[in-house]
Chain A
Amino acid sequence: KAGVTQTPRYLIKTRGQQVTLSCSPISGHRSVSWYQQTPGQGLQFLFEYFSETQRNKGNFPGRFSGRQFSNSRSEMNVSTLELGDSALYLCASSPPIAGANVLTFGAGSRLTVL
């Protein structure tokens, strides 16, 4: 059974650009969550999608957005990149079972903003 796949694994952007990251969940998982990991702030929740609807959102500016497609694949977008957006972005999926919120994480997309 394939795990959570994130692409690209590494990318370098410059300030002001925008970036799109992709996440393919485990087959059958309908919930996808995104996290930002930085040395200073640690792991912080960005947003969660379930059946193409954003179910929850963390405390991030509107430059951070996401969406989920009918096949449960998800993308997140960061516009007008800032140096502080350099981070490891982790995606996680979970099965559609109430209370069984065990997240399976992907290997992450490491974004460097220059």
Chain B
Amino acid sequence: AQKVTQAQTEISVVEKEDVTLDCVYETRDTTYYLFWYKQPPSGELVFLIRRNSFDEQNEISGRYSWNFQKSTSSFNFTITASQVVDSAVYFCALSRGGGSQGNLIFGKGTKLSVKP
């Protein structure tokens, strides 16, 4: 069975601190995709990144970086120098590589609060 675990329910940091959101996944598929989405208070899920199972390169986009390690089935997300606007719920998600493109398995989410 496929599963995504985000062990951190809530994290609170002070602005400019670095913060890492953990994501551990389970799947027996050899081809799969991993995602991170952000959900601000408005409710709309905003896509941040997608990784396929064959691409273990870490990625950096501005203050955001992602560390994908197949050996530990983890896909962690780091925000450097956090800002108040980063406050949101962040979801890690997993999908299969086949035809079921719209079926994402989401973790429970991590609520990040960045205080000024």
Contact residues of A with B, CB < 8 Å? Answer: 31-33, 35, 42-45, 48, 50, 55-56, 58, 88, 90, 92, 94, 99-108, 110
Contacts and interface: CB of A to CB of B under 8 A. Distances in A.
A5 B106 CA distance: 22
A102 B50 contact: yes
A95 B89 CA distance: 25
B1 to A, nearest CB: 12
Interface of B: 33, 35, 37, 42-47, 50, 52, 91, 95, 97, 99-109
B44 A105 contact: yes
Contacts of B47: 102-105
Interface residue SS majority, chain A? strand
A31 B105 contact: no
Contacts of A33: 102-104
Contacts of A104: 47
A101 B50 CA distance: 9
A108 B91 CA distance: 16
Given A43-B91, A101-B33, A108 B103 contact: no
